[in-house]
Amino acid sequence: MELFRNKLNKNKIPKHVAIIMDGNGRWAEKHGNARVFGHKQGVESVRSTVEGAGEIGIEHLTLYAFSTENWERPKYEIEALMSLLIFAIESETESLMKNNVRLSTIGDLNKMPGSVRTKLNSCINTLQSNTGLNLILALSYSSKWEITEAVKKIVEESKSGKLNPDDINDKLFEKYLSTADLPDPELLIRTSGEFRISNFLLWQIAYSELYFTEKLWPDFRKEDLFRAIFDYQNRERRFGKTSEQLIS
């Protein structure tokens, strides 16, 4: 079987890939285990995916790890997820370092437990001089939250005279999102066979290619990432134009 990795066009690697890592609970159930077991297995998928992304030269990888809505889950599951996050950050820092990965976050981090923030910040500091893949964890993130925050800032700055409302356009608006320094993802992947966005990067995926796979997140590996990118590379992105216009 030929590997998707070998089929990839090196000149058409997306700069930014975003992933909705879904299906941990169902994976655990399938294996006769508690949901938390699926979250634990998901760490291995993150490791493989991050490694693969770095290997083929993706610049930014955004992983949806915990949504604003996920705060509504049972308390014990939230606690287990937070503990796992601390454990994973600690255990993965060394291999992230080795792979030259930088780390950042988007989301309402103030809502995260202090212990998680401390671990995250220390990991971010350790990795800050790395020059390879930029790994962005979306934590306590939702797109409606992010857009609302942006609007609030814009209104404040307009009221105080720092910003002229006549200057507001889509390019300016983007500067107020937590992804201000990032290109929009060319490709969004969601695992577990659900066909929805679940409040993730709504603004930024306006023109992203969407890729859905039945694979549950704990079964996802770098070769699945390469398959998704191969699929992406064989699409025609027209951005509203006609095919003929793209050729000329």
Catalytic amino acids? 22, 70
Task: Choose the one of Mg ion, ligand IPE, none that binds residue 26, judging by a C-beta under 5 to 8 angstroms depending on kind.
Answer: ligand IPE
Per partner kind, with CB cut-offs from 5 to 8 A, the member of Mg ion, ligand IPE, none near residue 221 is none
Q: According to the binding rule CB under 6 A, does residue 21 interact with ligand IPE?
A: yes
Q: How far is the CB of 25 from ligand IPE (least distance, A)?
A: 3
DSSP label at 217? G
Question: Residue 235 has what DSSP assignment?
Answer: S
Q: Which stretch binds Mg ion (CB under 5 A): 19-27, 40-48, 72-80, 93-101?
A: 19-27
DSSP conformation class of 185: P
| Per rule CB under 6 A, count of chain residues that contact ligand IPE | 19
CB of 71 to ligand IPE, least distance (A): 10
Question: What is the rounded distance in angstroms from the CA atom of residue 201 to the CA atom of residue 224?
Answer: 22
Binding mask 60-79 for ligand IPE (x = CB under 6 A): ----xxxx-xx---------
Q: Which two tokens stand for residue 200?
A: 């993730």
140 with 113: CB under 8 angstroms? no
| Binder of residue 24, out of Mg ion, ligand IPE, none (CB less than 5 to 8 A by kind) | ligand IPE
| Nearest residue (CB) to Mg ion, 22 versus 186 | 22
Tokens of 147: 């857009």
Amino acid at residue number 175: K
**233 near ligand IPE, rule: CB under 6 A:** no
Q: Is 116 in the site for ligand IPE (CB under 6 A)?
A: no
Residue 56 half-sphere exposure toward CB, CA atoms < 13 A:
29
Under the binding rule (CB under 5 A), the answer on residue 22 touching Mg ion is yes
**169-228: which residues touch ligand IPE (CB under 6 A)?**
192, 194, 196, 198, 217
Letter for the amino acid at 60?
H
Partner that binds at residue 64, options Mg ion, ligand IPE, none, CB closer than 5 to 8 Å by kind: ligand IPE
Using left for φ > 0, alpha for ψ between -120 and 50, and beta otherwise, residue 246 falls in: alpha
Q: Among ligand IPE, Mg ion, none, what does residue 130 contact (CB within 5–8 Å per kind)?
A: none
Query: Cα–Cα–Cα angle for 33, 37, 39, nearest 5°?
Result: 140
CA distance 53 to 35: 27
| Structure tokens, 214 | 């039945």
Residues of this chain that interact with Mg ion (CB under 5 A) are 22
